[in-house]
Every structure is written in structure tokens, then in C-alpha cells.
Amino acid sequence: MSGGGWGRPLRLLLGAGLLLEPLLAAGARAQLPPPPPPPPPAAAEPDLGRCVASYGNTGCAARLYAQLLCDSIDTRFNGGQLANQLDQHYAQAGIDFSGISPEQVERAAVRYYAPMLCPSKSERIRAVFRLS
């Protein structure tokens, strides 16, 4: 499976309320001031061309997904826009999704990469996915 359209199976981007509603509700409860907007895609992951070589296909996909979670967990966001952004990152990185399931990417993103990329937000991310 190619990168195009692949981000949509991930729970964050389904828009089915599995992740969007808990994130929005958690943000409302926390009553934090709105954070700055996430950096543009190029700033979020400048070495997309080296991502697969550095982390493998599954690791690269999970790392990109984790970065999106880190950038989005405290903001109100549009799932469709995030899906498009993730699809673009996947395509730019050249990820081969053969044999990789969305669950594998999601699990690696939440359990391994989010704690590395945004340690202060990883517990909230894990709580949303109920993987604590």
C-alpha cells in the first residue's frame, strides 16, 4: 500500500470520535491557553528523505504519526487536514506500507516515539489511546 490515503485508517484521523472527541474534551477540561500553531510540515520533519533509512518503514511511519500527535494533542484541529498532512509526509518519506498495519504504526507511535518526541505530552497521548 502506498502512502496516499494511508493515514486515514489511523484512529486519530478517522473522525469517528475515537480520538477527536477525547482530545477536545481533555483540552476543554485542562483550560490551558491555546498553544502556538504547529510548525509547517517541513519544519516538523526536515529529513523526510532519510526517515526510512534511519527508522525503517514502520518506524518512520510511527515517528511521523507520533510527531503529528505531539503537535496536535493540545489543539483543536481538523482531522481531514491532519490526514492530508500525514499522507504528504508518508509520500515524501517514501514509506512502503506492504505488510504494515495501521495498528502497528499507532502502537509504535504512542508507546515508543511519542515519549521520545514529546515526553511532557506522552502520558496524555497514551491515556487517549488507553495504552497506559
99: which DSSP letter? T
pLDDT at residue 66 in the model: 94
Tabulate helix, strand, coil % of the chain (nearest 5). Answer: 65, 0, 35
Q: Against a cut of 0.85, is the pTM above it? A: no
Whole-number Å distance between alpha carbons of 45 and 58: 16
Tens digits of residue pLDDT in 74-122: 887 667 788 888 999 999 999 999 999 999 999 999 999 999 999 999 9
Q: Which comes out higher in pLDDT, residue 101 or 8? A: 101
